[in-house]
Amino acid sequence: MPDVQLRTRGCPQFVDYVERGITSGPEIQRVARGYLRPLQEAGIDTLILGCTHYPLLIGVISYVMGDDVTLVSSSDACARAVYRQLTDRAMVNDQPDVGSRTFLTTGQPADFRSIGERLMGRGFIESVGQFL
């Protein structure tokens, strides 16, 4: 087995920025540089994006880390796990009707819709409900 060194780094403000719809620009670049500097100084060659929010920042993270660092997105693993669960439960829709997309949020539905449409495109979100 090759020599592997594991380093971890929490980036909790990334979630806040994504949820406010800020995925690019000088402010998030500054925050990313602060979080990622210790990993750059350690000379890492691979960075695993360990939160479902982080792939939405892949542009800024890639920009800050540079071309020599491989980014691995948790969204790919998440998509595979969801597909596996749907397949195991015989819930995969193989019909032309794609169904509907309803989202639930603990925040304000209007805020969720606004940011969601910015990130996923207009018309993607059909309805938003709220957990109380």
Segments of the chain assigned to CATH 3.40.50.1860: 1-92
pLDDT digits (tens, 9 = 90+) for 38-74: 999 999 999 999 888 899 999 999 999 999 999 998 8
Q: Report residue 110 CA to chain centroid gap.
A: 21
Alpha-carbon torsion 72, 78, 83, 88, what sign? positive
Query: Which amino acid, 62?
Result: S
pTM exceeding 0.85 = no
Nearest Cα neighbor of 99 from 84, 113, 108, 86 is 86
For 7, the token pair is: 């380093």
User: Which strand (E) or helix (H) includes residue 18?
Assistant: helix 12-19
CATH topology of domain 1-92: Rossmann fold (3.40.50)
pLDDT digits (tens, 9 = 90+) for 10-43: 999 999 999 888 999 999 999 999 999 999 999 9
Residue positions counted in the chain: 132
| Strand, coil or helix: 48 | strand
